[in-house]
Each structure stands twice: as structure tokens, then as C-alpha cells.
Structure 1
Amino acid sequence: MKKIVFIILGLYLSVGMAFAQDTETEKPKDRPIRAPFESGILIDNQTTVVPSKKTLEMHIQHRFGLIKSSGASDLWGIYAPSANTRMGLNYSITDDIMLGYGITRKNMYNDFQAKWTFLKQTRKNTIPVTLTVYGNMAINGQSDDVFGDDYAFADRMSYFGQFIAGRKFNEWFSLELNASFTHFNSVKSTEANITGYEHDVIGLGGHMRFKFSPQSSILIMYTTPLNIQSMQENTTVMNAWKSNFGIAYEVATSTHAFQIFISTADGIVPQDIYMYNEADLTETEFRFGFNITRLWNF
């Protein structure tokens, strides 16, 4: 009987010591970094940021008119009739996946969007970068007269897809680069396959944040469509293919982000910017704008 007791006690101690050794050698998990940006948008760009699960995110995005068009007569574009506004709501169904809807004054675009951050940079650099995919579908909500008598509902639709790669280098500097593809189902032309707008465009861009206080940052953004001749459907292309540049000052708290900036494009929906931006950076054709982000957790 004593032998049986000693055998059971020996097995118990052996298992306990082995478990203790496993616990001691188990390494702590390498957690994701804190958000590299304060909002899911940076001027006109999407960032890799997806708010935590069950968060409702509201965006108000506004663009005034061109600063140099009328000067002081319209307060350098602030009272210009060409102002543009988008209001949108996004909801995070997981910590990595967000769905949203917005409506924009220009062309009355109704956009439905999704964002998925499928890889996150970690604090110990086990994973050195964050990778995100973003996509939307926009419906042009203008009256039927704009499209003419012979058109289908699908002619109102346009699509945008983007891949974003980013890295937070330290607490004060973050950088992200992106590549995108834009498609419009219907575009204007004067002579089919000879002179007209293109249906598709590929774009590249990036943005960065310089954080100089717990709540304040300087943001810089640049995107450009690529004029790839092998993709062109028309001999004479009517698209302006202008780049978009912006620089902003941002103030943020845990639930709010406010960005005030100057940028070139009057559009807000990304496919409209890549396809139809006619403001020329080299001619200093800038406009004032602001973005407001508000978060609610449920």
C-alpha cells in the first residue's frame, strides 16, 4: 500500500514540476501596437485603422471652394458655391473588420464600404507591418436627366479597391503606402473608343503622421493616378489625371479626431478623386477642408 502511495505522489510531483517548467518557459504574447493614426481617414486617404469591435464611427468631411478663384470676395473659397460635404457611418463588426455607408453632395454619391485589417504590426516587431484592404461601391444619385434616356441602373455605379501597407516607427512617426484600382461602369465620350474618359485607373499614394504632443499631429498625404497607355481605351483621353496633395493639423482624443487642412481635390469619394480631380498642385489650386470623426462604443 505504501508503495502505491509513493508511486502516486511521485507521479503527481513530476507532472507538477513539468507544468511549472512549461509555464516558466512560455513567452508572453507579442501584442499589436497602439493605433498608428487617430482616425480611419487622413484628409482624403483611408488608413489601416479599424476601431475596436462594436464601435460606431461617424465621419463629417467637408471641402470648401478653391482658395485663389475669387479671393476675398468669397473668403478664399469658404463661401464658394462649389463646396462639397460627405457624411458617413461605419460599424466595426470585429476588431479587424468594418462596414460603412456615406452620402456625398457632389453627384449625390451613395457609397457602401468595407475595410479589413488582416495583419497587424506588433510591439516587439514579430510582425513588422500592418496590412489592410479597403473597398467601396458608389452609386451616382443624380437625376435621370444627367444620364439621358437610354441608360441602365448599373451605369450609376463605380468601384474602388485599395491595398494599404503601413508601419508605426515610433510614437511620433507613422507611414503608410497604398495602391488602388478605380472603375466606373459608365463614362462620357465624344466618339466611342476614340475620344473620351477612361473607365479604369490605377493609383499610388501614401500618407504620414508627425505627432508632436499627446493630442496634436501634423499629417501629410499624396496620391496620384497613373497614366498607363497600355490600359487606355481611347486615342485621346479626356481625364485630367491630376495628383492630390494635402497637409493637415489634427487634434484628437480617445473618441474624437478633428483635422483641418488644405488639399487640392474637390471630391471626397476616392474613385472620384482618382478619376476626375482637375485641381493642379503645380498651379497652387488648393482649398480648405476639415474632417470630424466621432466614436461611440456599444
Structure 2
Amino acid sequence: MKKKIIYILLSLLVCANVFAQDTEENVSVGPAFENGTLIDAQTSFIPDVKSLEFIIQHKFGPIDNGDADFDLFGIYAPGANIRLALNYVPARNVQIGMGITKSSDCVDFNGKWTILEQTENNKIPFFVTVFANTAITYESKDDLGSLMDYDNPSSRFDYRLSDRFSYFAQVFVGRKFTNALSVQGGVSFSHDNLVDAWHDHDRVALHLDGRLKFSGQSSFIFNFGAPLRIDKISEQHPDWTAANPPHPDWKGPYNPKPSLKFGVEISTFTHAFQIYVGNANAILPQFDMMNNYNKPFDGLAFGFTITRLWMY
């Protein structure tokens, strides 16, 4: 009987040791990025459960805005945009949040879920994350005068609640190659319920983001987003020409330009500060992918992102 008990105990110890080794081999490599926001993009990083995060995203006016007065490289220039946001982590690898943005006059609600985490033994060689938001503009009907000609009865419309909504959904895959280098790529879908008559309501885009650390707390960072022209979902008619425009203000086919931002990040355990330059004034991703008129190195402006994390 004693031998059986000893045999069972030894078997349990061996099984426990094997399980512990297997668990250790499958542990996550750790965060690929220092925080969940990389300039304007989302990353796979989600803090511990019950963490609260406050974010300030600010973009100044264009560096070259044609103003004869000195405006300190756009810092004093008009056209600044700002977003204030709060994120909360109710469960492991799940984050919810909301924010308010100046330029587009809207409130957004968002959620993020890191489905897969990269493991040290490379059984899972990458991370997979999904992100989505819904934005609701609080612009008045008068604020949309440039969008619709209200003096022309034929173009009059009822500004309904649904017209205030826009949406963004993204899935991205990435890898922490070394402690210094992390890269992610993704695909997104944007939809805006109310757009100019000659613009598309839907836009698919490709994304590439990365971070390269050059010291313990400092990194080079970048965002790149490329909106795609997909004829099957485009509402721009191929017969539209200068002689046959869809609208008097039509200036030719509209295709949003790629968005490029690059800068430096300084981070600690609970703080991150990012300063960068970029060619897009929008902060919410759906407006970035649908409404950017600037080529990658045109219309550059300075911006910064600050995050503060509290863990309870």
C-alpha cells in the first residue's frame, strides 16, 4: 500500500513538473509595444485587468501653411486637432474605451481584443488583435453647409441620427522580433454614413506600424496607412468627367492619399510620450483613411500623444 501511495505521489510530481515546463515554454514573449497607442494606431498591448488609461492626442497646424507670420513650424498655426480619451480593461486582453475629438466634433466608443499572444517557444509566432470603433458626430445641420447646398431644394435632406455615425474595424498581425524591434501589419474597413455626393461611403485600407528601440526607454516609431480603391465597393461612376460632373464642385475622382507618421517615443512603466510629424490631420482612423488629401510628405504637421496608466 505504501509503495502504491509513493508511486502515485511520484507520478503526480512528475506530471506537475512536465506541466510546469510546458507552461513555461508557452509563456508570452511580453508586450511587443510599450502601450496600446502608437501615434494614431492601435497595438496589441492591453494592460492588466482593472487598468485605467488616459490619452491625449494633439496635432498642430501644418508646418508650411502659407502664413507670412512666424508660427513656430505650425505650432501656433490654426487647424489644430485634439482628442481626449479613457480606456479600461474589464478582462484579460480585452479593452473598452471612449473619447472626444475636436476637429470632427464627435464622440467615439471603441473596443480591442488581443486574440493570440506570441509565445517564447514560437508555437504561436505572432500576435493577432482586433479593434473596432463607432463615432457619433454632434455637428449641427448648419455646420454641414459645405457638404450640402441647403438653398437648393433638390439636395435638401433630413439630417437623421444615423447620418451622424461612422465606423472602423481592423484586424492586425504582428511580431516582436527582438526586444528592440516590433512590427505589425493589418487590414481595415471604414464606413461613414454621410459623405460628399462624389465620395465613397466605404474604404478598405492596409496598415504597417513599427517600433525600434534605441535605448531602454526611447524608440523610433512609425505609422503607415494606404487606402485602397476597390471598384466593387466604390460609388464613383466611371462616366463622371469634367463635362459630366456629379456636382458643380467636383474636381475629379477622389481617392484618399496614404497616411504617414513617424517620430520618437519615450516611455516608462505607466507613462508614454510620443512626438511625431505626419501628413494627416485626422485622429480617428476612419477619417484618416477616408479624408486625407495630402501626399505622404505634403502638409506635414507636428503632433504628440501622451498616455497615463493607473493599475488597481
TM-score (norm. length: structure 2):
0.87
| 2:37 aligned residue (27, 33, 41) | 41
Q: Counterpart of 2:294?
A: 279
Tell me, in whole angstroms, the C-alpha distance in 2 between the residues paired with 1:64 and 1:204. 25
1:68-147 aligned within 5 A? 68-70=64-66, 73-147=70-144
What secondary structure is seen at the aligned counterpart in 2 of 1:70?
Answer: coil
Q: Counterpart of 1:201?
A: 203
Tell me, in whole angstroms, the C-alpha distance in 2 between the residues paired with 1:266 and 1:240. 16
Tell me, in whole angstroms, the C-alpha distance in 2 between the residues paired with 1:41 and 1:24. 39
8 Å contact 1:54–1:93 — kept in the other structure?
yes
Tell me, in whole angstroms, the C-alpha distance in 2 between the residues paired with 1:21 and 1:74. 70
Q: Counterpart of 1:18?
A: 11
Larger radius of gyration: 1
Q: Counterpart of 2:231?
A: 229
Q: Counterpart of 2:189?
A: 181
Is residue 2:254 matched to residue 1:251?
no
User: What do the CA deviations read for 1:2-45 (whole angstroms, capped 9, x no partner)?
Assistant: xxxxxx22322222232233234332412112211112111121
| 1:60 aligned residue (56, 59, 67) | 56
8 Å contact 1:70–1:77 — kept in the other structure?
no
8 Å contact 1:219–1:250 — kept in the other structure?
yes
| Structure 1, unpaired ranges of 5+ | 1-7, 190-195
Deviates further, 214-223 or 9-18: 9-18
Tell me, in whole angstroms, the C-alpha distance in 2 between the residues paired with 1:51 and 1:24. 30
Letter in 1 for 2:87: N
* Residues 50 and 239 (structure 1), Cα distance of their counterparts in 2 relative to 1, 3 Å cut: farther
What secondary structure is seen at the aligned counterpart in 1 of 2:216?
Answer: coil
8 Å contact 1:183–1:200 — kept in the other structure?
yes
| 1:151 aligned residue (159, 166, 172) | 159
8 Å contact 2:118–2:126 — kept in the other structure?
yes
| Structure 2, unpaired ranges of 5+ | 145-149, 151-156, 241-251
Letter in 1 for 2:34: E
> As a proportion of its length, which structure holds more helix?
1
Shift in Å, 1:122 = 1.1
| 1:242 aligned residue (252, 257, 261) | 257
Letter in 1 for 2:281: D
CA RMSD of aligned residues (A): 1.6
8 Å contact 2:229–2:255 — kept in the other structure?
no
Letter in 2 for 1:13: I
Tell me, in whole angstroms, the C-alpha distance in 2 between the residues paired with 1:14 and 1:250. 56
Is residue 2:302 matched to residue 1:288?
yes
Is residue 2:302 matched to residue 1:266?
no
Residue correspondences, number:
284
User: What do the CA deviations read for 1:163-208 (whole angstroms, capped 9, x no partner)?
Assistant: 010100010100000100001112121xxxxxx1100000001111
Identity %: 38
Letter in 2 for 1:125: N
8 Å contact 1:84–1:105 — kept in the other structure?
yes
What secondary structure is seen at the aligned counterpart in 1 of 2:11?
Answer: helix
8 Å contact 1:239–1:275 — kept in the other structure?
no
